[in-house]
Structure 1
């Protein structure tokens, strides 16, 4: 996943959004739109989108989706949806992802 960056927006209204960027040197280029959880099935939406990009290999797709699964599970298991979360601990737990926290 060194060449990809999962980006998350955590909304105070109990949802998260996720998108994927391609890393190019010290910049990133958006590859996907934002997909929302739990409003829709962000994991399934991301899977469909990634499988439509023929130059992303299946190994990278699995790694991306596994990382997304870990973040979604953390969000569900730690009452993050109840606004009981520590921004810094989330960033430390998932250092390869980028997070923005909104009220």
Structure 2
């Protein structure tokens, strides 16, 4: 996943959004739109989008989707409210991802 960056928006209203960027030197370029969980199936939406980009190899797709699964599972299992959300521990747990936390 060194070439890619999963970006998450963690909303207070108990949803998250995820997008994927391509890393180019010290910058990133968006590859996907934001997909929302649980409003829709962000994992499935991301899978379909990634499989439509023919230059992303299957190994990278699996790594990206596995990382997305880990974050979604953590989000579902954490059951923490925004008031006691430990943003720093989430960033430490998933250092290959970028997070923004919104009220």
Map 1:1-103 to 2 at 5 A.
1-80=1-80, 84-103=84-103
Report the CA distance shift for 1:68/1:97 in structure 2 as closer, same or farther (over 3 A): same
Distance 1:90 1:83 in 2: 14
Superposition RMSD on alpha carbons, in Å? 1.2
For residue 56 of structure 2, give the secondary structure of its aligned residue in structure 1. Answer: coil
Alpha-carbon deviation of 1:82? 6.8
Alpha-carbon deviation of 1:80? 3.7
What per-residue deviation string (whole Å, max 9, x for no partner) do you get for residues 20-45 of structure 1?
Answer: 00000000000000000000000000
Alpha-carbon deviation of 1:83? 5.6
What per-residue deviation string (whole Å, max 9, x for no partner) do you get for residues 63-88 of structure 1?
Answer: 00000000000001111467642100
**How many pairs were matched up?**
103
Distance 1:49 1:80 in 2: 30
| Unmatched runs of 5 consecutive residues or more in structure 2 | none
Distance 1:5 1:59 in 2: 15
TM-score normalised to the size of structure 2? 0.96
Distance 1:25 1:55 in 2: 18
Alpha-carbon deviation of 1:95? 0.2
